């Protein structure tokens, strides 16, 4: 598949350096985009990040164009995060991207559904003091996103995870699996997820850098 490239620089957000758009040359349909953000960091290696929304086959041409824009803006490394590193590995190698740190790892709890899938069910929030889980649904999967102010304790976070699970299963018995993610250094949350019955998965988010 061939792509034509369009660079849009007049974004409303002052942090947005440019948006690189890729169009299928046959159908002229939008194939993907890469948004470039200027974080304003003094270190040029940390200044510009990319937010790619690109199918695997369009990753190389769009990221190369994004890298050229970042280079012109004074960046020395273009950084982005991917959760599809295995699928994208040939493209990452072709680009010369360098693997960086793991951002987070996904955890999974398999359940036994006893009702219809909760697809499009309304999201909700479970809170305990200064910690929370936001819960959303995709198909028959519940996805837990966590935030807290203080580190807290394993016991306290386990109680919060359990409360979220109980609400999910009570209100949406058709849930087949529950997913949550945690940073590699968040020992308290990792221990709480394990105590609640979650298992680590191979799926992870990893930062990559493309030297400019």
Structure tokens at 95: 């680009």
Domain boundary, last residue among 58, 75, 96: 96
Is residue 212 domain-resident?
no
If asked whether residues 10 and 77 sit together in one domain, one would say yes
Question: What span, in angstroms and rounded, lies between the C-alpha atoms of 111 and 113?
Answer: 6
Domain boundary, last residue among 96, 123, 158: 96
If asked whether residues 8 and 89 sit together in one domain, one would say yes
Q: Tell me, what CATH number does 51's domain have?
A: 3.40.630.30
Is residue 24 domain-resident?
yes
DSSP-derived letter for residue 56 is: G
pTM summary value: 0.82
Cα 177 from chain centroid (whole Å): 19
pLDDT in tens, 114-168: 988 888 899 999 998 889 999 999 999 999 999 998 888 999 999 999 999 999 9
Cα 27 from chain centroid (whole Å): 29
In this predicted structure, the answer to whether residue 13 has a pLDDT above a threshold of 80 is no
Check residue 132 and give its pLDDT: 95
Is residue 84 domain-resident?
yes
Mean pLDDT computed over 1-17? 83
Is residue 114 domain-resident?
yes
Is residue 21 domain-resident?
yes
Q: Containing domain of residue 145, as a range?
A: 104-202
Sign, Cα dihedral of 71, 73, 79, 84:
negative
Provide the number of structural domains found in the chain: 2
Mean pLDDT computed over 51-75? 94
If asked whether residues 84 and 129 sit together in one domain, one would say no
Question: What span, in angstroms and rounded, lies between the C-alpha atoms of 72 and 193?
Answer: 44
Question: What span, in angstroms and rounded, lies between the C-alpha atoms of 45 and 31?
Answer: 28
Question: What span, in angstroms and rounded, lies between the C-alpha atoms of 27 and 92?
Answer: 26
């Amino acid at each position: 598949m061939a792509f034509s490239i369009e660079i849009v620089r007049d974004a409303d957000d002052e942090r947005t350096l440019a948006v690189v758009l890729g169009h299928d040359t046959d159908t002229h349909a939008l194939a993907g985009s890469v948004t470039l953000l200027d974080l304003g960091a003094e270190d040029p290696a940390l200044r510009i990040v990319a937010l790619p929304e690109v199918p695997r086959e369009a990753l190389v041409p769009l990221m190369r164009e994004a890298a050229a824009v970042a280079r012109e803006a004074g960046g020395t490394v273009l950084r982005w995060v991917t959760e599809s590193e295995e699928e994208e590995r040939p493209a990452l190698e072709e680009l010369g991207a360098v693997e960086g740190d793991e951002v987070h790892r996904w955890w999974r709890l398999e359940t036994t559904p006893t009702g219809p899938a909760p697809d499009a069910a309304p999201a909700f929030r479970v809170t305990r003091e200064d910690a929370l889980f936001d819960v959303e649904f995709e198909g028959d999967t519940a996805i837990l996103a966590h935030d807290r102010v203080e580190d807290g304790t394993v016991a306290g976070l386990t109680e919060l995870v359990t409360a979220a699970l109980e609400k999910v299963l009570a209100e949406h018995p058709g849930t087949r699996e529950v997913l949550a993610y945690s940073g590699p250094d968040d020992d308290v949350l990792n221990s709480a997820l394990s105590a609640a019955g979650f298992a680590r998965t191979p799926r992870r988010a990893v930062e990559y850098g493309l030297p400019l």
